[in-house]
Amino acid sequence: MTISQNILQLGKRVAASHGWSVAKAFKAYAMSDADRAVISRAAVDLLAIFPAAPDAPSDLGAMMSAALAVSLERAISAPVHVMRGHLAIEGRPVLGPAYGWLMVGPYVVDIALFRLAYSAGAPALLAKHVDLVFGPNKALYVDHWSMTRRVGLRYSPEHVSTEAEVTALMGDAFHRIKQARDQ
């Protein structure tokens, strides 16, 4: 499938859960430097309070993405959606089927990728790939969805989270942050 066909399919997924006007805005969005700076700042703030997990729970990506989505919805006017699906490295599945990341328009914003890769429980292929391609001490992956393959990543969205699902994930993230603070 070509990149334009992939974006079309992704737009159809957004339309199915959020409507065609939202899907149209999603496909047309181009990330500005100002939006990129806001996204980076929000991610740094969230990573500072979100507890590291040695076991890397399977829903970590979805929880962190929902928390980031909620903070971005107030800060930028871009279309922000929490996706769930698979992440493959060099064609081999490593996370999913419920791995979560953000799509800000056609841009992947993955706040959990490096947190998971650097954790003790990371899949070996993920840890090795991140170390070789990105190196240590990274925090946020942002790239146009069509360009993720050039660094060996393939995000395969299977579900666009609804507002109710994002709210529930945000609640889970809040409880995880609160538990870490109370300890």
CATH number at 60 reads 3.10.550
More confident residue, 86 or 51: 86
Give the helix, strand, coil percentages of the chain, each rounded to 5: 55, 20, 25
- Residue 2 confidence class, pLDDT cut points 50, 70, 90: very low
Range of the domain at 152: 3-182
Q: State how far the alpha carbon of 142 is from the alpha carbons of 7, 36, 106, 118, 121, in Å.
A: 17, 9, 11, 17, 23
Distance CA 183, CA 3 (A): 46
Q: Tens digit of pLDDT for each residue in 128-148? A: 999 999 999 999 999 998 899
More confident residue, 99 or 53: 99
Q: Across the chain, what does the average pLDDT equal?
A: 88
- Residue 28 confidence class, pLDDT cut points 50, 70, 90: confident
The residues that bridge with 80 in the sheet, in sequence order, are 104
Mean pLDDT of 35-61: 87
Mean pLDDT of 51-56: 72
**pLDDT of the residue at 57:** 65
**pLDDT of the residue at 128:** 97
What stretches of 105-152 adopt beta strand conformation (E)? Answer: 107-110, 141-144
**pLDDT of the residue at 3:** 47
Is the pLDDT at 7 greater than 80, yes or no?
A: no
Helix (H, G, I), strand (E, B) or coil at 108: strand
Q: Convert 17-36 to b/e letters by CB count within 10 Å (16 or more is b).
A: ebeeebbebbbebebeeebe
Mean pLDDT of 147-158: 94
**For 147, which DSSP code?**
G
Is the pLDDT at 87 greater than 50, yes or no?
A: yes
Is the pLDDT at 11 greater than 70, yes or no?
A: no
Say how many domains are in the chain.
1
- Residue 16 confidence class, pLDDT cut points 50, 70, 90: low
Distance CA 155, CA 54 (A): 24
